[in-house]
Amino acid sequence: MAGKFVRLGRPVSRITPHTAADALVIALVLILGAFEFLRPLNADGFFRGDTVYIEYARSILERGHYGLDFNDIQYPPGLPALLVLLCKTVACTHAALVRSMAVVLTLALIASYRLLKREEGTAVAATACLLIASSPLVFEFATQSVSSDVPYFFTSVATLLLAAKLDDAAGARNRMLLALLCAVMLAMSLMIRSSAVALIAGLVGWLAIGSWATDPPTRTRRWRSFSGVVIVAIVVQAAWMGWVAKHEVVEWPMLEGYPRTYVSQLIVKSGIEPELGTASLPDFLSRVPANVAERAVGLMQFVTRREYLDSDWYSPLVLGTVLLIGLGLGSSLRAAGGSLAEWYFIGHEAMYAVWPWPYESRFLLPVVPLALLYLWRGSIALGRQAVSAPRAVGAAGVSIGLLAAAAAAVAGWRSGSMQAWLSAFVWSLIVIASICMISPSRAATVGLLRRILLQRRILPAWPRPIQTTLPQTAGAIVATGLVVLGLALQADVARQNSSFDVAKHRVYERIVAARWIAEHTPGAAVVMARQMDVVHHYANRKVVWFPPISDARTLVDGIRRLGVDYIVVTDVWTYYVPTEDDCIAALLKAYPQAFNVVHQGSRFKIIQVVRDKLPTDAV
Q: Are 329 and 374 in contact (CB under 8 A)?
A: yes
Q: Are 150 and 365 in contact (CB under 8 A)?
A: yes
- Look at residue 24 and tell me if it is in a domain: no
From CA 171, how far away is CA 224, in angstroms rounded? 13
Secondary structure class of 529 (helix, strand, coil): strand
Q: DSSP string covering 414-455, please?
A: HH--HHHHHHHHHHHHHHHHHHHHHSTTHHHHHHHHHHHHT-
Secondary structure class of 604 (helix, strand, coil): strand
Task: Indicate if the pLDDT at residue 56 is higher than 70.
Answer: yes
Secondary structure class of 456 (helix, strand, coil): strand
Q: Same domain for 376 and 415?
A: no
Q: Same domain for 522 and 601?
A: yes
- Residue 447: give the domain boundaries: 389-454
User: What pLDDT, in 10s, does the model give residues 108-141?
Assistant: 999 999 999 999 999 999 999 999 999 999 999 9
- Look at residue 218 and tell me if it is in a domain: no
Percent share of the chain, pLDDT over 90: 73
- Look at residue 477 and tell me if it is in a domain: no
- Look at residue 324 and tell me if it is in a domain: yes
Q: Same domain for 409 and 335?
A: no
The domain tally of the chain equals 3
Q: Are 110 and 157 in contact (CB under 8 A)?
A: no
Choice between 452 and 360, residue whose per-residue pLDDT is larger: 360
- Look at residue 303 and tell me if it is in a domain: yes
- Look at residue 268 and tell me if it is in a domain: no
Secondary structure class of 350 (helix, strand, coil): helix
Q: 18: pLDDT confidence band, cut at 50, 70 and 90?
A: confident
Task: Indicate if the pLDDT at residue 100 is higher than 70.
Answer: yes
What are the beta bridge partners of residue 543? 527
Beta strand pairing status for 466-469 and 595-600? Answer: unpaired
Q: 7: pLDDT confidence band, cut at 50, 70 and 90?
A: very low
Q: Same domain for 368 and 308?
A: yes
Length of the chain: 619
Q: Same domain for 354 and 284?
A: yes
- Please report the pLDDT score of residue 184 as a whole number: 98
State the helix-helix crossing angle for 197-208 and 172-192, rounded to 10 degrees.
140
- Look at residue 246 and tell me if it is in a domain: no
Task: Indicate if the pLDDT at residue 90 is higher than 50.
Answer: yes
User: What pLDDT, in 10s, does the model give residues 434-460?
Assistant: 898 887 766 666 676 666 666 666 656
Q: 232: pLDDT confidence band, cut at 50, 70 and 90?
A: very high
CATH number of the domain encompassing residue 559:
3.40.190
Q: 463: pLDDT confidence band, cut at 50, 70 and 90?
A: low
User: What pLDDT, in 10s, does the model give residues 183-197?
Assistant: 999 999 999 999 999
Average of per-residue pLDDT values in the chain: 90
Q: Same domain for 418 and 376?
A: no
Q: Same domain for 590 and 539?
A: yes
From CA 615, how far away is CA 619, in angstroms rounded? 9
Of 454, 474, 490, which residue is a domain's last?
Answer: 454
Secondary structure class of 595 (helix, strand, coil): strand
Task: Indicate if the pLDDT at residue 360 is higher than 70.
Answer: yes
Q: Same domain for 433 and 393?
A: yes
Nearest to 302, CA basis, from 133, 98, 99, 126: 133
Q: Same domain for 573 and 556?
A: yes
Q: Same domain for 411 and 355?
A: no
- Please report the pLDDT score of residue 13 as a whole number: 45
Query: What is this structure's pTM?
Result: 0.93
- Look at residue 558 and tell me if it is in a domain: yes
Q: Are 554 and 251 in contact (CB under 8 A)?
A: no
Q: DSSP string covering 41-71, please?
A: ---SS--STTHHHHHHHHHHHHHSSS--SSS
User: What pLDDT, in 10s, does the model give residues 420-437?
Assistant: 999 999 999 999 988 988
| 482-506: average pLDDT | 95
Task: Indicate if the pLDDT at residue 5 is higher than 50.
Answer: no
- Please report the pLDDT score of residue 619 as a whole number: 47
From CA 318, how far away is CA 309, in angstroms rounded? 10
Which residues lie below 8 Å from residue 230, measured CB to CB, with a gap of 6+? 200, 203, 204, 207
Choice between 12 and 248, residue whose per-residue pLDDT is larger: 248
| 224-240: average pLDDT | 96
Nearest to 517, CA basis, from 570, 589, 584, 572: 570
Nearest to 194, CA basis, from 346, 78, 51: 78
Task: Indicate if the pLDDT at residue 466 is higher than 70.
Answer: no
Task: Indicate if the pLDDT at residue 73 is higher than 80.
Answer: no
Give the CA angle between residues 323, 325, 328 to the nearest 5°.
110
From CA 125, how far away is CA 112, in angstroms rounded? 8
Task: Indicate if the pLDDT at residue 470 is higher than 80.
Answer: no
Nearest to 477, CA basis, from 193, 191, 127: 127
Q: Same domain for 524 and 608?
A: yes
Of 362, 383, 404, which residue is a domain's last?
Answer: 383
| 236-265: average pLDDT | 89
User: What pLDDT, in 10s, does the model give residues 386-404?
Assistant: 888 889 999 999 999 999 9
Q: Same domain for 427 and 512?
A: no
- Please report the pLDDT score of residue 2 as a whole number: 38
- Please report the pLDDT score of residue 163 as a whole number: 97
- Please report the pLDDT score of residue 8 as a whole number: 44
Alpha carbon distances (Å) from 418 to 294, 380, 425, 429:
19, 30, 10, 17
Which residues lie below 8 Å from residue 83, measured CB to CB, with a gap of 6+? 53, 54, 56, 57, 97, 100, 146
Secondary structure class of 173 (helix, strand, coil): helix
Of 356, 383, 410, which residue is a domain's last?
Answer: 383
Alpha carbon distances (Å) from 502 to 45, 147, 512, 619:
9, 19, 11, 41
Choice between 604 and 459, residue whose per-residue pLDDT is larger: 604
Q: Are 113 and 370 in contact (CB under 8 A)?
A: no
Secondary structure class of 597 (helix, strand, coil): strand
